[in-house]
Amino acid sequence: MIEHQSQPNKNMLFRMMEYYTALVNTFVVKEENQNKYGSKEIQIPKAEFHIVFNGKDAMDKHPKLDLGDIQLKGSVTNIHFSNLTHHDTNHSLVAYARLVELVTELDFTINDAIDCLLKEGYLVGFFGRKEIRDMFVEIFSYDQELIEQGRSEGRIEGIEQEKIKAAKKMIAKGMTAKDILEITELSEKEIEQLMKPNSY
């Protein structure tokens, strides 16, 4: 099993164990009619977990991931484009890392990023297909990207800071607390605090 992370997360192994259990129960135990309540030992595939990290935060080169006394281990690989030692244009993870870099760090639209990948020769047979482009456009749509980032750790705090900065500019221009409230969606208490002379 491979899971992608944009931020270091030591809980990822636990979550992957949950995914593994659900998948095994659905596709191995049930579909093969194995009785997990019976006396006969059920046959399941060995768990092998790999986490690929593609973020800008600092991360140990070989972080240790385990679940304490539970004998379960997984690997973490940093695939941020700047950390890759080779740029094999036919390697799917390399192409994916380049795509993420173009969209999230260089502000390319997804269509421009795919055009760039094709120009650079990354998985031309894959990214050249219209259905693949359409799929990535849907996944990386701007609004959805903001929603997903807003749910991730640290992003919500960043959004709040941007609202506070905007509110301070509005106060400096003499806008009313009511207007600032409607535009920024900050609380009345937060705006009152910002309007105090010492808040700057």
CA distances from 153 to 60, 77, 150, 189 (A): 19, 20, 8, 24
Chain segment 150-200, per-residue pLDDT in tens: 544 444 455 677 778 778 877 887 777 877 776 677 778 888 888 876 554
- What is the per-residue pLDDT for 114? 92
- What is the per-residue pLDDT for 71? 54
Chain segment 68-119, per-residue pLDDT in tens: 555 556 667 788 888 888 889 999 889 988 988 888 888 888 889 999 999 9
70 forms beta bridges with 67
Chain segment 31-70, per-residue pLDDT in tens: 778 887 777 888 888 878 877 777 776 666 656 666 655 5
Question: Of 114, 113, 111, 134, which is closest to residue 124 (Cα–Cα)?
Answer: 114
- What is the per-residue pLDDT for 148? 52
Put residue 13 in one of left, alpha, beta given phi > 0 → left and psi -120 to 50 → alpha. alpha
Residues 24 and 44: their CA atoms lie apart, in Å, by: 7
Residues 180 and 184: their CA atoms lie apart, in Å, by: 6
- Whether the predicted model's global pTM rises above the 0.85 cut: no
Confidence band (pLDDT; 50, 70, 90) for 8?
low
The residue with greater pLDDT, 90 or 136, is 90
The answer to whether 36 and 61 are in contact (CB under 8 A) is: no
Mean pLDDT along residues 143-155: 49
Question: What token pair was written down for 187?
Answer: 């609380």
Residues 112 and 190: their CA atoms lie apart, in Å, by: 40
Question: What token pair was written down for 144?
Answer: 């959805």
